[in-house]
């Protein structure tokens, strides 16, 4: 007879997850973030309590932001580990939909287990149950379907026997990786079933490394054999695939310049001669010029997002051919690319072997020094005077405080663009930017997740006042848990980045900066006092010199250390960048809008649709 163990469905889920290991022998699900309510407290709450020694449970203050923490943990772990998030039904669940979309865009693992309505339907409609008149199978959790890589509803205890292995496959698959949602009916959580004991045996999930097809390698090698100015676009897949060394060897062997996307920044040392730095809308001149001249563009682990490609306008060479090395066929085939559907390490090695001793002329030797000659002065300490510092000068202060353990991170507003251009990352993982979804409010929760994944890291979150106001409650969680990181709040009194975009597209300043919006009482938020009230060490500084002094004090902190500095909302780095497809009105009574429309129409001439 098959040996069985009688458990509730919730107990079975927790026991199964605790037995799933990664290649290093660590529990793949590193912990569970939970806010309990009537949809999960009785079932999953009891099960998690019983397993708290092997699967720790953490309590957040907001469902969305605790999910952001879990996602940042998975990102900083290179997708080798992940976390679980459980919520009640109703608003607790739907609060996580935004975070699920973030994980989906960024291809990051997170296991979402929201409570669901009763499978029996006996008490229908339960509290917080949206009733869909024409479909009795729908609950609020159906919102997760389009933003989950795998979705299932657990309406019987034995469903876990198939659902959980499917969930783990998706979470650990480099091609399919993304959020998994298991909507768990609240009555089923407490129902018992005789599960096979073998279901709970330890299992190791090794990171799959799909090997390249020889035909695809041959096709790409033939393209490169006739190329004269190839360029590499390094994306997040280099980092997640642990392919940094492979990329370095390939670039050096064949003398091909490398450019970096937001997710791929820190793929190579910033000062390596072949690393031309950031490309695209938030890119530098050295990288963008190389991309404009390239006759073969080799994407490695990139999904070719519009900021990377300048909305497909930066690859200007009419003879340009696109190559995409990616584990996901969907990405490898984009825009008519010649694909190599494979692991980055394996693909680069096989292609290099096929190319043999083929070497190219490499980058323009003046391009990179010329770029830094333009932008380094922007990050230098400001001179004496009463002018508000710029965001670039703030970044310079943080850069000077950087150590080999520093991880700078951000997500939305001004910082993604400025950091992509200006930050000099010292090693893989030293730059953590959530720019697939660019979700305001990710920063503080994300910084906590990074620190949990990499305790030795010196984590510095760069966040504007607008993004801080979106979501800051996990500051209290980090303070209570003794998790230390630095938060630099640049207060430019509103949404400075979008205000500049509004002006850049001919619009009048309207509804973005607090001082140009219609408010009866002017805003006067004391961010330092607010952060301190949640348990952080917090200070407001008056200039960049004071900021540098506080950054030194923040090293080694065991709780959040918040530094607030007022900044000028108008300046940005004018050098570099590329055209971006932002729809501008075709009809307006404002000449500035019509001028912007003409500029936009002119930019579209370089846009390639294939």
Alpha-carbon gap, residue 479 to 433, rounded angstroms: 23
- The number of distinct structural domains making up the chain is 3
Strand partners, 22: 205
Q: Domain boundary residue among 157, 176, 205?
A: 205
Tell me, yes or no, whether 251 and 223 share the same domain.
yes
Bridge-based pairing state of the strands 486-491 and 561-566? parallel
CA distances from 63 to 84, 93, 293 (A): 12, 8, 47
pLDDT tens digits, one per residue of 29-82: 999 999 999 999 999 999 999 999 999 999 999 999 999 999 999 999 999 999
304-308, long-range: CB within 8 Å, 24+ apart, which pairs?
Answer: 304/233, 304/331, 304/334, 304/335, 305/261, 305/436, 306/281, 306/580, 306/581, 307/261, 307/262, 307/280, 307/281, 307/282, 307/435, 307/580, 308/233, 308/235, 308/261, 308/262, 308/279, 308/280
What residues contact residue 46 under an 8 Å CB cut-off, 6+ apart? 8, 10, 11, 190
Structure letter (DSSP) for residue 174? T
Alpha-carbon gap, residue 314 to 281, rounded angstroms: 9
Phi, psi dihedral angles at 104 (to 5 degrees): -65, -45
Task: Answer whether residue 604 is part of any domain.
Answer: no
The torsion of the CA quartet 486, 487, 488, 494, rounded to 10 degrees, works out to: 180
Tell me, yes or no, whether 141 and 11 share the same domain.
yes
Q: Domain boundary residue among 135, 170, 205?
A: 205
Identify the pLDDT of residue 259.
Answer: 98
Identify the pLDDT of residue 159.
Answer: 98
Identify the pLDDT of residue 449.
Answer: 98
- pLDDT at residue 411 greater than cutoff 90: yes
- pLDDT at residue 386 greater than cutoff 80: no
Task: Answer whether residue 608 is part of any domain.
Answer: no
Tell me the percentage of the chain whose pLDDT exceeds 70: 100
Which CATH number do you get for residue 418? 3.40.50.970
Tell me, yes or no, whether 140 and 284 share the same domain.
no
Task: Answer whether residue 135 is part of any domain.
Answer: yes
Q: Choose among 288, 274, 295: nearest CA to 362.
A: 274
Q: What is the mean pLDDT of the chain?
A: 96
DSSP letters spanning 192-257 = EEEEEGGGGS-EEEPPP-PPPPHHHHHHHHHHHHT-SSEEEEE-HHHHHTT-HHHHHHHHHHHT--
Confidence bin at 384 (pLDDT 50/70/90): confident
The answer to which of 509-513, 521-525, 532-536, 587-591 has the lowest mean pLDDT is: 521-525
Work out the average pLDDT over 354-383.
95
Alpha-carbon gap, residue 16 to 165, rounded angstroms: 9
Tell me, yes or no, whether 66 and 156 share the same domain.
yes
Q: Domain boundary residue among 162, 187, 205?
A: 205
Confidence bin at 300 (pLDDT 50/70/90): very high
Angle between helix 63-76 and helix 97-106 axes, rounded to 10 deg: 20
The answer to which of 190-194, 328-332, 599-603 has the lowest mean pLDDT is: 599-603
Q: Choose among 39, 42, 36: nearest CA to 63.
A: 36
- pLDDT at residue 516 greater than cutoff 90: no
Tell me, yes or no, whether 120 and 48 share the same domain.
yes
Task: Answer whether residue 585 is part of any domain.
Answer: no
Cβ atoms 300, 235 nearer than 8 A: yes
Tell me, yes or no, whether 53 and 131 share the same domain.
yes
Instruction: State both tokens at 259.
Output: 């450019």
Cβ atoms 331, 302 nearer than 8 A: yes
Alpha-carbon gap, residue 98 to 102, rounded angstroms: 6
- pLDDT at residue 362 greater than cutoff 80: yes
Alpha-carbon gap, residue 170 to 151, rounded angstroms: 10
Query: Exposure pattern of 436-455 as b/e (b: 16+ CB <10 Å)?
Result: bbbbbbbbbbbbbbbbbbbe
- pLDDT at residue 520 greater than cutoff 90: no
Sign of the C-alpha dihedral, residues 308, 311, 316, 321? positive
- pLDDT at residue 426 greater than cutoff 90: no
Identify the pLDDT of residue 522.
Answer: 86
Question: Coil, strand or helix: which one is 93?
Answer: helix
Tell me, yes or no, whether 332 and 261 share the same domain.
yes
- pLDDT at residue 1 greater than cutoff 90: no
Which CATH number do you get for residue 254? 3.40.50.1220
Q: Choose among 570, 577, 539: nearest CA to 390.
A: 570
Phi, psi dihedral angles at 261 (to 5 degrees): -80, 180
Q: Choose among 488, 519, 320, 265: nearest CA to 395.
A: 488
The residue range of the domain holding 223 is 214-365
pLDDT tens digits, one per residue of 328-349: 999 999 999 999 999 999 999 9
Alpha-carbon gap, residue 107 to 66, rounded angstroms: 18
Identify the pLDDT of residue 223.
Answer: 97
Cis peptide before 102 (omega within 30 of 0): no
Task: Answer whether residue 90 is part of any domain.
Answer: yes
Task: Answer whether residue 374 is part of any domain.
Answer: no
CA distances from 62 to 82, 92, 436, 444 (A): 19, 8, 22, 12
Tell me, yes or no, whether 163 and 232 share the same domain.
no
User: Could you tell me how many residues make up the chain?
Assistant: 610
Tell me the percentage of the chain whose pLDDT exceeds 90: 96
Query: Exposure pattern of 220-239 as b/e (b: 16+ CB <10 Å)?
Result: bbebbeebebbbbbbbbbbb
Confidence bin at 589 (pLDDT 50/70/90): very high
Cβ atoms 573, 420 nearer than 8 A: no
Instruction: State both tokens at 38.
Output: 């009537």
Task: Answer whether residue 592 is part of any domain.
Answer: no
Tell me, yes or no, whether 84 and 123 share the same domain.
yes
Cβ atoms 351, 221 nearer than 8 A: yes
Cβ atoms 180, 112 nearer than 8 A: yes
Tell me, yes or no, whether 315 and 413 share the same domain.
no
Tell me, yes or no, whether 466 and 556 share the same domain.
yes
Task: Answer whether residue 603 is part of any domain.
Answer: no
* pTM of the predicted protein model: 0.97
Tell me, yes or no, whether 41 and 87 share the same domain.
yes
Structure letter (DSSP) for residue 384? S
Angle between helix 442-453 and helix 474-481 axes, rounded to 10 deg: 30
CA atoms within 13 A of residue 514's CA, in its CB half-sphere: 13
């Amino acid at each position: 007879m098959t040996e069985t163990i009688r458990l509730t469905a919730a107990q079975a889920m927790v026991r199964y997850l605790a037995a799933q290991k990664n290649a290093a022998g660590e529990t793949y699900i590193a912990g569970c973030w939970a806010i309990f309510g009537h949809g999960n407290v009785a079932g999953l709450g009891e099960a998690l309590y019983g397993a708290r020694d092997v699967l720790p449970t953490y309590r957040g203050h907001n469902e969305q932001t605790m999910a952001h923490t879990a996602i940042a943990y998975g990102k900083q772990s290179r997708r080798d580990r992940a976390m679980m998030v459980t919520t009640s039904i109703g608003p607790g669940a739907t609060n996580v939909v935004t975070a699920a979309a973030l994980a989906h865009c960024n291809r990051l693992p997170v296991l979402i287990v929201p409570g669901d309505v009763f499978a029996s339907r006996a008490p229908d409609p339960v509290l917080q149950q949206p009733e869909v008149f024409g479909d009795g199978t729908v609950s609020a959790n159906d919102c997760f379907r389009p933003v989950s890589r795998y979705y299932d509803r657990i309406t019987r205890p034995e469903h876990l026997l198939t659902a959980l292995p499917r969930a783990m496959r998706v979470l650990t698959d480099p091609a399919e990786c993304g959020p998994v949602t298991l909507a768990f009916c609240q009555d089923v959580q407490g129902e018992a079933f005789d599960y096979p004991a073998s279901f709970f045996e330890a299992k190791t999930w090794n990171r799959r490394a799909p090997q390249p097809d020889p035909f695809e390698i041959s096709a790409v090698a033939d393209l490169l054999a006739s190329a004269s100015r190839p360029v590499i676009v390094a994306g997040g897949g280099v980092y997640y695939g642990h392919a940094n060394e492979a990329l370095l060897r390939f670039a050096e062997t064949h003398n091909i310049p490398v450019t970096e996307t937001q997710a791929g920044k820190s793929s190579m040392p910033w000062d390596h001669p072949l690393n031309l730095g950031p490309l695209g809308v938030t890119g530098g001149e050295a990288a963008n010029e190389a991309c404009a001249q390239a006759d073969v563009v080799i994407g490695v682990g990139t999904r070719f997002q519009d900021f990377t490609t300048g909305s497909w306008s930066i690859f200007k060479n009419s003879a340009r051919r696109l190559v995409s090395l990616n584990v996901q066929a969907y990405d490898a085939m984009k825009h008519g690319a010649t694909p190599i559907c494979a692991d980055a390490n394996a693909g680069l090695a096989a292609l290099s072997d096929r190319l043999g001793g083929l070497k190219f002329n490499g980058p323009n030797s003046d391009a990179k020094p010329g770029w830094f000659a333009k932008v380094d002065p922007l990050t230098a300490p400001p001179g004496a005077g009463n002018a508000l510092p710029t965001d670039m000068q703030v970044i310079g202060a943080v850069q000077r405080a950087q150590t080999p353990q520093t991880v700078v991170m951000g997500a939305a507003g001004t910082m993604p663009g400025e950091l992509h251009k200006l930050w000099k990352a010292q090693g893989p993982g030293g730059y953590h930017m959530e720019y697939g979804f660019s979700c305001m409010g990710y920063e503080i929760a994300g910084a906590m997740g990074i620190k949990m994944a990499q305790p030795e890291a010196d984590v510095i979150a760069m966040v504007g006042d607008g993004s801080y106001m979106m979501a800051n409650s996990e500051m209290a969680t980090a303070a209570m848990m003794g998790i230390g990181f630095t938060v630099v709040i640049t207060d430019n009194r509103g949404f400075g980045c979008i205000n500049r975009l509004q002006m850049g597209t001919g619009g009048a300043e309207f509804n973005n900066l607090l001082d140009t919006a219609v408010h009866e009482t002017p805003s006067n938020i004391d961010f330092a006092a607010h952060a301190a009230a949640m348990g952080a060490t917090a200070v407001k500084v008056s200039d960049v010199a004071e900021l540098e002094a506080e950054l030194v004090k923040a090293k080694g902190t065991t709780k959040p250390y918040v530094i607030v500095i007022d900044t000028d909302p108008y300046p940005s780095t004018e050098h570099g960048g590329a055209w971006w497809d932002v729809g501008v009105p075709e009809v307006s009574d404002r000449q500035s809008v019509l001028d912007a429309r003409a500029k936009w129409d002119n930019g579209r001439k370089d846009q390639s649709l294939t």
